[in-house]
Amino acid sequence: MTQWMRHAVIALLLGSSGLLAACNTVEGAGKDIERGGEKVQDAVKPGDQK
């Protein structure tokens, strides 16, 4: 029982650290995509559209 609980705790810690790292990665990617969209909007001015 003690061995099983030790493995369960280790699995939970590893899983949660992976999720936290993924959140930072997705947040960074979202900021990069947002900046790209802003550049496209800046490039196309309202008077330039056909």
pLDDT by residue (tens digit) across 2-43?
888 888 888 888 877 777 777 777 788 888 888 888 888 787
Residue 17: what pLDDT? 78
CA 8, CA 28: separation in Å to the nearest integer? 31
User: Which residue is it, tokens 């705790």?
Assistant: 9
Does the global pTM surpass 0.85? Answer: no
Tokens of residue 48, six digits: 């330039």
Tokens of residue 16, six digits: 């949660």
pLDDT > 70? residue 50: no
